[in-house]
Amino acid sequence: MTDSRRAFPDLPQPAALSDAQLQAEVTALLETDARAARRWSCDHHGCDGLPHEGWLHHHARAAQRLPDGDWTAWMMLTGRGWGKTKSAAEAVRSWATTPGTMIAVVAKNATLVKEICFESPKSGLLAVIPPEDIRRYSPGNGLTTLRLKNGSAIYGFGAETPDNLRGFAFDKGWLDEYAAWNRHTAQSVYDMLWFCLREAPSPQVVISTTPKPLPHIRRLVERGRTSTAQRPGVILTTGRTEDNRANLSAAALAELDSEYGSTRLGRQELDGVLLEDVEGALWKQWMFEVEGFRVAPPAIPPLDRVVLSVDPAVTTAEDADFTAFTVAGRSYPLEQMYGDRRPRGYLLHTEQDRYTPTAAMCRAAALFHEHQADCVVIEANNGGEYLPALLTEVDPTVQWRIVHATRNKRARAAPVAMLYEQSRVSHVGPPRTYALLEEQMTTYVGTSDHAEKSPDLLDSAVWALTDLFLDSSVPGVPSRPTDGRLAGRR
């Protein structure tokens, strides 16, 4: 007898089974394996989710288990791929085993709630809830419903408007990618859900999201940080993409690290860090999170003006400042009866390095032609007046103009920061290109403290956007706002 037969003496002998019996045995074994694989969490303290005795399949890490206690909101604020969607779906499955439980699932829009929360092949509700427990699944463009045989029901909503939830009564809720919702209505949708939970005996909400520095996210994080064992309130769970490496593609992780590692966006999207605002900084973290801020190159509209700005270093010593370059363009929206007709700005490229004056002008000429710019804008303070002549000597075909700083850096930067606050500037291309610039934007305060390093990239970006939007001597920039309604009035 083989070792396997000795270990399982009660198993039937395959040779003694008919084809039908053998098929039935195989089916039963597959069903048993599927049920085992569907199990979500063990009770091992600090489990890493890898197979161990009694658990042959990958399962929940300790941090992914539904928390104990009388909390009201469990917020998973983690990096991409951490497993928060699967964790939230499993929480909903656990709740739904209680007969007659009514659960709301809300995502950014109706399409995403259906395709991600319900139908995702690995982490959606249809993947984690046993098929034999489902009575009817009704996907829809507005409302998606999943009814179970025990009387529980799960309703899927889009978070486009708070009134989508009006009139319902729920026991539990799941908010998916809460930080990606419309920042103007997200808090109202959250509040409306809690109105719908007002009659629940034990109301609870699971929130699965990548962190973004938005007011409705910060509000919950602050509550999580002040919660106590006596008043748990919000349970806050943080984590990194790396925590779930065993279930992710090694090639994909390497690519993500190459693209986003050591960048501001990488700290947020991969490390799950909620980036904090620096007191006094003109740029706030949320300005880089608005929809349409990051643009892929093919999506750039026609540009009516492109400029290259140069913030030159004063000296060329080894410890000198960098010479910084920024390429930016301006586009006017198509004529329309309604909507925002103000021009939009697009940062196309930024870089900095230490150059000799001649090398700096050679690099400026190369970038001018590469991006088909209309003009090179050169800051001529601190003895830089000779640079245009040097640029002409390097390449006489390059158009240039000189600008002089008459105000301090903070005063010059403030109107440009306002363009970002109005969501009128986008960054085009890989996030790594703008990592240093965005770091300077969100950390530079502009005090009189000489210990604060001069932000070279920020300076060059300010000069470029000033040329495109704020300098009335430049073609295409209005000298002052006009309002036709006041024409002829005295």
Cα angle, residue 176 at apex, residues 166 and 129 outer, rounded to 5°: 95
Quick one: CA dihedral 79, 81, 83, 88, positive or negative? positive
What's residue 14's pLDDT? 67
Give the amino acid at 464: A
CA 49, CA 128: separation in Å to the nearest integer? 16
What's residue 490's pLDDT? 34
Are 248 and 241 within 8 A, CB to CB?
Answer: yes
Are 64 and 206 within 8 A, CB to CB?
Answer: no
Q: What are phi and psi of 153, to 5 degrees?
A: -140, 140
What's residue 480's pLDDT? 47
CA 225, CA 74: separation in Å to the nearest integer? 12
Q: Of the candidates 90, 92, 96, which has an alpha carbon nearest to the alpha carbon of residue 147?
A: 96
Q: Residues, the chain, total? A: 490
The helix (run of H) or strand (run of E) holding residue 477 is: none
Are 361 and 325 within 8 A, CB to CB?
Answer: no
Are 101 and 77 within 8 A, CB to CB?
Answer: no
Tell me the whole-structure pTM to 2 decimals.
0.72
Strand partners, 295: 428
* CA-to-CA dists, residue 37 to 17, 33, 101, 149, 342, angstroms: 27, 6, 25, 22, 55
Which domains, and CATH codes, for the chain?
A: 34-58 (no CATH), 66-247 (3.40.50.300), 285-470 (3.30.420.320)
Per-residue pLDDT of the chain (490 residues; tens, 9 = 90+): 454 445 445 666 666 677 777 777 777 666 666 666 678 888 888 898 888 888 888 888 999 999 988 899 999 999 999 999 999 999 999 999 999 999 999 999 999 999 999 999 999 999 999 999 999 999 987 899 999 999 999 999 999 989 989 999 999 999 999 999 988 899 999 999 999 999 999 999 999 999 988 889 989 999 988 876 666 689 999 999 999 998 899 999 988 888 787 777 888 889 998 888 888 899 998 899 888 899 998 889 999 999 999 998 866 666 667 899 999 999 987 755 456 778 999 999 999 998 989 999 999 999 999 999 999 999 886 556 788 899 999 999 999 999 988 788 889 999 999 999 999 999 999 888 898 999 999 988 877 554 456 688 999 999 999 999 998 777 666 554 444 443 443 3
